[in-house]
C-alpha cells in the first residue's frame, strides 16, 4: 500500500517508465526491421513489378541446371536473369488471366508422347523419360546423391513457365484479325510495280565550308527522333587507354631456347612408354590421328614427311608458339572410308552401357547391325541401317574421324564418345587412291610469353598515366605521347559484362561497376585494371586506364549524351539544306544531274514495300514519293538517307486489280502479325514493367 501511495504521489514517474518501455519496444521493432531489410537487400538481385528475384534462388537454379557447364559465366547468368524476369512477368499475367497448368497437363508435358520442347532440346530420350517417370511415381528410386531429383524439380518450374507463356502468346495470336482493307493494302504494296527515273546528289558533294551545324540542329533532330534514343535504363560511356603487354625479341629468344633444350631428351625417349612419360611431363600432346603432308604444320611439313620414325624436328614457329615434333608412326591411311554407326544421345555411363549391350548382341549373333540401327539409332542414318557412306578424313568430328582413319580395322566393332553421344561404329570399306604416307606425331609447345620485366614496363606506363593524368583530356594527350590511343566504349548498362574489344570477364565487370560508382565525368580513375592474357596464359595481357565519359539517365536522351551517335545524321541534314538551296531547276531531272555532275538512273519494277534503289540502298522516302506521281511528273528535291534526290515517273501507277477471292491474303496478313507475337510480346512487357536490376551490387 505504501508503494502504491508513493506512485500516486509521483505520477510523473509512472508516465516516464511507461514511455521508456514503449520506446524500447518501438526501438526493438525498428532494429528488427532494419536487420530484416538489410538481409532482404543483400539477398535481392532485382525486382519485377514488385516481385523479388532472390539471390539464393538464382544461385540454386544456376547450380542445378548449369552445374559444371563451361563457357562464359557472365553470359550464362545474363540468360538466367532473363529467365527469372520472364518468369515473374508470365506468372503475373497468367494470374490476371486465370491461366494455369493442371497436374495431368504437366505430366503429359513431361512424360507424354510429345514432351516439352525443353526436354527435347536437352536430349531426354523416351527411355530416359520412362525411367524418370518411374522414379517420380515411386516405383523406382532416385539416385541417392539427390541431384536428379533436384534437377527435375527445377526443370518442372521451367516447363510450367514455358507452357503458361505459350498459352498467353497463343491467346493473343489467335485474337489477331486482318480486315479486308488491310489485306488489300498489303496485296497492292507487294504487287503494284512502277518504273521511275531518279538522280542523286550525294552528301559528299558538299564541302565542309558549305554548311554549318549548330546546337539547335542537334536539339531539333533529337526532338524529332526522341523515341529512337529513349533510354529504358541508365547507361554510361567509358573512355579508356589499353596498354598491351607484347613479348620482346629477347622474350622470343628465351622461349625458343627453353624448348630447344628439350630436343635431345625427346629424341632419347626410345619406347612408346618413354614418349608418353616425356609428353606428360612437358604438357605436350600425342595426336591420335595419322596426318598427310597438307595437314602437318606448314613450316616443317616437308621435313616431317621425309624423316624417319623417331626423328625430332624443331624448334619451329607456329603462330605465336614454338614447337618440337617427334614422328611416332608412319603408315598409309585410306583417302576415304565407309562406315556405319548407331548413335545414342543418352549421356554418361548409361549411354556407354547401352552401346556395350548392342555390341554384345551383334558379336554373339543375336542381332544384326542394320536392324538394330533402325530400331535404336537417333539420327538421320537410322533408316539406312546407320550407313554413313564414304567420307574423307576431316569430314567427321575428331574422335569419330580418328577412330575410322586410324585404329579401326574393317569389319570390327568399336565404341566412341563424341559431342553427339555414344556411337557403335563399324568401318565397312576403305579406298586407297594415292597411297600417300601419313604420320602420327607428338608435339611439345612453348608459347612466346612476355617476361616479368616486359610486363612491368607496361604496368609502369599504366601507373604513370593514373598518377599524372587528372582528366580525360590529360589522359588522351599523355597517351598520344606514349604512342597509345584513347578509345570509348559503347553505352553500358550496370549489369553488362562485356566491353567491346576488351572482351568479357571479371575485369570487364569491375570496370563497369567502377563507372557506376561515381557521378563525376571526365576524371581519370586512379586505379588501373589488369586483363589476363586472352589466350589463357598465366600472365597479364594488358593494363587499362579509364575515365567516365558520359552518364545518360533513364528517360529521354540529352544532346550531350548522344551527340556522337547522331552527328552524321545532323550533318547530313545540313548538307541536304545546302544542296537544296543550290538547285536551280528542280523540275528538270536532267538539269539537276548536269548541275552537280551526276547521272540519271532508273528503278524498274519497284514495289512500295521494297523501299530500295539499285546501287543506292534503302530510300523509303524516295520510293514513297515516286508512287504518288503520275506519268511524266517530277518531284523533289527529297532529303534522303544518302543524298538529295529528284524523281520522275515514267509510267502511271497500275490500278492493281485485286484477286476475286482475298481470303488467302487475309490469312497471310493475320499469320504474319501472329508470328511476331511470340518474339515481341514479352519485349513489350519488359519495357512497360518496373524492373529494378540490382545485380551490379
pLDDT at 373: 92
Reported as a single tens digit per residue, the pLDDT across 646-694 is: 999 998 878 767 777 777 777 877 877 788 887 788 888 888 888 888 8
Query: What contacts 283, CB < 8 A, 6 or more positions away?
Result: 444
Compute mean pLDDT per 10 residues along the chain, 697 residues long, and list them.
Answer: 45 44 48 44 87 91 83 87 93 92 93 88 81 89 85 91 91 82 80 88 86 90 89 90 95 94 92 90 87 88 90 91 92 89 84 89 92 90 92 89 88 92 93 83 93 95 95 95 94 90 90 92 94 87 95 86 87 92 89 91 85 85 89 90 92 76 78 80 86 83
Q: What element of type H or E holds 394?
A: none
pLDDT at 361: 92
CA distance 118 to 564: 43
pLDDT at 697: 73
Reported as a single tens digit per residue, the pLDDT across 290-330 is: 888 888 999 999 999 889 999 999 999 988 899 999 999 88
pLDDT at 199: 92
Q: What element of type H or E holds 283?
A: none
Backbone angles phi, psi at 274, to 5 degrees: -65, -45
Query: What contacts 678, CB < 8 A, 6 or more positions away?
Result: 169, 173
CA distance 83 to 133: 26
pLDDT at 84: 94
pLDDT at 656: 64
ω into residue 637 within 30 of 0, thus cis? yes
DSSP per position, 335-379:
SEEEEEEEEE---HHHHHHHHHHHHHHHHTTSS-HHHHHHHH--S
Question: Which grid coordinates belong to 441?
Answer: 606425331
596-618 per-residue burial string, b: 16 or more CB within 10 A, e: under 16: beeeeeebeebbbeeebbeebee
99-115 per-residue burial string, b: 16 or more CB within 10 A, e: under 16: eebeeeebeebbbeeeb
Reported as a single tens digit per residue, the pLDDT across 144-166 is: 888 888 889 999 999 999 999 99
pLDDT at 332: 83
Tell me the residue ranges of DSSP E strands in 129-222.
193-202
Contact 131, 58 (CB under 8 A): no
CA distance 297 to 449: 21
DSSP per position, 625-679:
HHHTPPTT-EEEEEE-SSEEEEEEESSPPP--PPPS--HHHHHHHHHHHHHTHHH
pLDDT at 427: 94
Amino acid at each position: 500500500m505504501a508503494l502504491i501511495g508513493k506512485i500516486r504521489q509521483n505520477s510523473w514517474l509512472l508516465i516516464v517508465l511507461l514511455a521508456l518501455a514503449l520506446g524500447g519496444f518501438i526501438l526493438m521493432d525498428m532494429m528488427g526491421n532494419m536487420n530484416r531489410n538489410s538481409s532482404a537487400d543483400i539477398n535481392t538481385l532485382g525486382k519485377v513489378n514488385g516481385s523479388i528475384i532472390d539471390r539464393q534462388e538464382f544461385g540454386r537454379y544456376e547450380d542445378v541446371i548449369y552445374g559444371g557447364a563451361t563457357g562464359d559465366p557472365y553470359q550464362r547468368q545474363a540468360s538466367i536473369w532473363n529467365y527469372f524476369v520472364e518468369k515473374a512477368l508470365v506468372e503475373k499475367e497468367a494470374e490476371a488471366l486465370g491461366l494455369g497448368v493442371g497436374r495431368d497437363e504437366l505430366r503429359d508435358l513431361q512424360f507424354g508422347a510429345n514432351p516439352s520442347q525443353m526436354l527435347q532440346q536437352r536430349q531426354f530420350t523416351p527411355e530416359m523419360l520412362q525411367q524418370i517417370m518411374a522414379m517420380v511415381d515411386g516405383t523406382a528410386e532416385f539416385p541417392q546423391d539427390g541431384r536428379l531429383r533436384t534437377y527435375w524439380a527445377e526443370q518442372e518450374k521451367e516447363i510450367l513457365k514455358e507452357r503458361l507463356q505459350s498459352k498467353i502468346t497463343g491467346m493473343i495470336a489467335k485474337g489477331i484479325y486482318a480486315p479486308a482493307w488491310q489485306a488489300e493494302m498489303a496485296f497492292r504494296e507487294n504487287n503494284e510495280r512502277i518504273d521511275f527515273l531518279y538522280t542523286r546528289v550525294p552528301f559528299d558533294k558538299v564541302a565542309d565550308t558549305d554548311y554549318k551545324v549548330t546546337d539547335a540542329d542537334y536539339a531539333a533532330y533529337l526532338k524529332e527522333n526522341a523515341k529512337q534514343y529513349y533510354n529504358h535504363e541508365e547507361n554510361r560511356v567509358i573512355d579508356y587507354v589499353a596498354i598491351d603487354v607484347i613479348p620482346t625479341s629477347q622474350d622470343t629468344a628465351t622461349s625458343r631456347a627453353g624448348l630447344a633444350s628439350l630436343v635431345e631428351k625427346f629424341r632419347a625417349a626410345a619406347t612408346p612408354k618413354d614418349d608418353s612419360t616425356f609428353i606428360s611431363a612437358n604438357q605436350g600432346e600425342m595426336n591420335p590421328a595419322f596426318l598427310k603432308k597438307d595437314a602437318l604444320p606448314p613450316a616443317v611439313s616437308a621435313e616431317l614427311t621425309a624423316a624417319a620414325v623417331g626423328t625430332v624436328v624443331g624448334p619451329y614457329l607456329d603462330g605465336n608458339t614454338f614447337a618440337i615434333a617427334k614422328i611416332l608412326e608412319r603408315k598409309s591411311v585410306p583417302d576415304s572410308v565407309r562406315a556405319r554407326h548407331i548413335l545414342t544421345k543418352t549421356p554418361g555411363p548409361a549411354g556407354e552401357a547401352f552401346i556395350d549391350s548392342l555390341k554384345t548382341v551383334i558379336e554373339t549373333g543375336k542381332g544384326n547391325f542394320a536392324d538394330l540401327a533402325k530400331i535404336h539409332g537417333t539420327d538421320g542414318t537410322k533408316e539406312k541401317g546407320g550407313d554413313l557412306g564414304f567420307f574423307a578424313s576431316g569430314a567427321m568430328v575428331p574422335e569419330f574421324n580418328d577412330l575410322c582413319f586410324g585404329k579401326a580395322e574393317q569389319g570390327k566393332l568399336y565404341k566412341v564418345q563424341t559431342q553427339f553421344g555414344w556411337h557403335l561404329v563399324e568401318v565397312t570399306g576403305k579406298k586407297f587412291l594415292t597411297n600417300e604416307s601419313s604420320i602420327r606425331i607428338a608435339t611439345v609447345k612453348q608459347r612466346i610469353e612476355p617476361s616479368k620485366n616486359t610486363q612491368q614496363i607496361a604496368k609502369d606506363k599504366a601507373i604513370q598515366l593514373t598518377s599524372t593524368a587528372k582528366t580525360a583530356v590529360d589522359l588522351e594527350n599523355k597517351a598520344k605521347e606514349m604512342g597509345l590511343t584513347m578509345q570509348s566504349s559503347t553505352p553500358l548498362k550496370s549489369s553488362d559484362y562485356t566491353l567491346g574489344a576488351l572482351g568479357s570477364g571479371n575485369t570487364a565487370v569491375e570496370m563497369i561497376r567502377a563507372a557506376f560508382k561515381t557521378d563525376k565525368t571526365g576524371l581519370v580513375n586512379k586505379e588501373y585494371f589488369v586483363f589476363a592474357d586472352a589466350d589463357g596464359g598465366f600472365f597479364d595481357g594488358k593494363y587499362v586506364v579509364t575515365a567516365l565519359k558520359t552518364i545518360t539517365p533513364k528517360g529521354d536522351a540529352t544532346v550531350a549524351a548522344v551527340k556522337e551517335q547522331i552527328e552524321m545524321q545532323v550533318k547530313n541534314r545540313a548538307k541536304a539544306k545546302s544542296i537544296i538551296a543550290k538547285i536551280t531547276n528542280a523540275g528538270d531531272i536532267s538539269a539537276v544531274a548536269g548541275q552537280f555532275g551526276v547521272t540519271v538512273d532508273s528503278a524498274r519494277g519497284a514495289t512500295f514495300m521494297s523501299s530500295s534503289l539499285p546501287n543506292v540502298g534503302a530510300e523509303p522516302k524516295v520510293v514513297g514519293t515516286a508512287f504518288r506521281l503520275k506519268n511524266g511528273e517530277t518531284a523533289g528535291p527529297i532529303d534522303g538517307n544518302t543524298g538529295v534526290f529528284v524523281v520522275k515517273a515514267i509510267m502511271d501507277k497500275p490500278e492493281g486489280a485485286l484477286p476475286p477471292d482475298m481470303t488467302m491474303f487475309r490469312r497471310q496478313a493475320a499469320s504474319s502479325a501472329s508470328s511476331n507475337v511470340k518474339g515481341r510480346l514479352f519485349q513489350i512487357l519488359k519495357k512497360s514493367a518496373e524492373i529494378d536490376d540490382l545485380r551490379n551490387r
